[in-house]
């Protein structure tokens, strides 16, 4: 009989992946003596847990997998994509009160970027979407600081040299020129840090405004800025198919 491979994860990660809370919260709970493994108090967040054999309890209650939640948020500019900020600046979690359970952000949008942000506690799907090998398309509406020539747009489309390598080919469309600015739509198949901003800088321009309008098959249609909604079952299935994610129990 083939021996089953052991799946080991750190205790804080086990709590987070179960949807109990963020890893920061989990580390705090562990340090405060609220977590036991197989009936024994463990106060080390990096303690290894065999997820198939070990029993984890939080406040004396067995850890169970939380209900899967999928939240689509229209993030405004000025909100951080993080759970808590040491400087007490607003975060996207201020916009989704009352969910009743923790959901993590799928990727990030920087402080000055608005648009579509997905939050979920389905870690398998989140990891599939953010995996660069799966090439999930992300579409942005950009206001450039200059008028861009067709040659500059072609450069963006073919790929530009960044500090971390040449970008993959993109889909670039000129929306309109207005005064001294070009508005364009760009779809990329990767998600490097501040990638669209750095791409514009690579063609001697800058981003003045950046809005993510699409992630895979998801769009912002019908959603007001600062508002959120749950995904439909069809939308979840579509995302799962696009990302090649397998359903996990």
CA angle 73, 77, 79 (to 5 degrees): 70
Q: 222 and 211 in one domain?
A: no
Q: 119 and 142 in one domain?
A: no
- The answer to whether residue 223 sits within a structural domain is yes
- The answer to whether residue 18 sits within a structural domain is yes
- The answer to whether residue 3 sits within a structural domain is no
Q: 227 and 211 in one domain?
A: no
Residue-level pLDDT at 3: 45
Q: 192 and 161 in one domain?
A: yes
Q: 147 and 98 in one domain?
A: no
pLDDT per residue, tens digit, the chain (249 aa), is: 344 567 788 998 888 777 777 788 888 889 999 999 999 999 999 999 887 888 898 888 888 777 889 999 999 999 999 888 889 999 999 999 888 778 889 999 999 999 999 999 888 898 899 988 888 999 999 999 999 999 999 999 999 999 999 999 999 999 999 999 999 999 999 988 899 999 999 999 999 999 999 999 999 999 999 999 999 999 999 999 888 865 543
CA angle 160, 126, 162 (to 5 degrees): 15
* Whether pTM exceeds 0.95: no
Please give the distance of CA 26 from its chain centroid, rounded to a whole number: 20
Q: 104 and 39 in one domain?
A: no
List of E strands, 83-124: 104-105, 114-120
- The answer to whether residue 2 sits within a structural domain is no
Q: 105 and 205 in one domain?
A: no
- The answer to whether residue 95 sits within a structural domain is yes
Q: 92 and 48 in one domain?
A: no
- The answer to whether residue 114 sits within a structural domain is yes
Q: 204 and 141 in one domain?
A: yes
Domain that holds residue 82: 70-132+218-243
For the chain, the straight-line distance linking the first and the last C-alpha, in angstroms and rounded, comes to 24
| Distance from C-alpha of 204 to C-alpha of 145, rounded to nearest angstrom | 10
Q: 22 and 57 in one domain?
A: yes
Q: 143 and 23 in one domain?
A: no
Q: How many domains does the chain have?
A: 3
DSSP symbol at 153: H
- The answer to whether residue 177 sits within a structural domain is yes
Q: 159 and 42 in one domain?
A: no
Other Cβ atoms closer than 10 A to 248: 11
The CATH number of the domain holding residue 90 is: 3.30.70.580
| Distance from C-alpha of 66 to C-alpha of 55, rounded to nearest angstrom | 16
Beta-bridge partners for 16: none
What is the set of active-site residues?
A: 110
Beta-bridge partners for 18: none
Task: List, as one string, the DSSP characters of 110-145.
Answer: -TT-EEEEEEES-HHHHHHHH-GGG---EEEEEEES
């Amino acid at each position: 009989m083939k021996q089953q491979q052991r799946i080991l994860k750190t205790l804080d990660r086990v709590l987070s992946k179960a949807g109990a809370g963020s890893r920061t919260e989990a580390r705090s709970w562990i340090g405060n003596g609220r977590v036991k493994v197989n009936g024994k108090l463990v106060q080390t967040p990096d303690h290894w847990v065999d997820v198939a054999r070990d029993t984890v309890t939080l406040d004396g209650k067995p850890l169970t997998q939380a209900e899967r939640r999928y939240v689509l948020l229209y993030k405004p500019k000025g909100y951080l994509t993080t759970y808590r900020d040491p400087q007490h600046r607003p975060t996207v979690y201020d916009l989704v009160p009352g969910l009743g359970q923790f959901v993590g952000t799928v990727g990030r949008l920087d402080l000055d970027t608005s648009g579509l942000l997905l939050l979920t506690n389905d870690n398998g799907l989140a990891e599939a979407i953010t995996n660069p090998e799966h090439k999930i398309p992300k579409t942005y509406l950009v206001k450039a600081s200059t008028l861009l020539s067709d040659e500059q747009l072609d450069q963006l489309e073919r790929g530009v040299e960044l500090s971390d390598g040449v970008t993959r080919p993109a889909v670039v469309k000129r929306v309109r020129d207005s005064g001294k600015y070009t508005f364009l739509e760009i779809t990329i198949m990767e998600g490097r840090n501040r990638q669209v901003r750095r791409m514009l800088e690579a063609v001697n321009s800058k981003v003045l405004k950046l809005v993510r309008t699409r992630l895979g098959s998801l769009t912002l249609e019908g959603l007001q800025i600062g508002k959120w909604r749950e995904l439909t079952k069809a939308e979840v299935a579509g995302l799962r198919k696009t990302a090649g994610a397998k359903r996990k129990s």
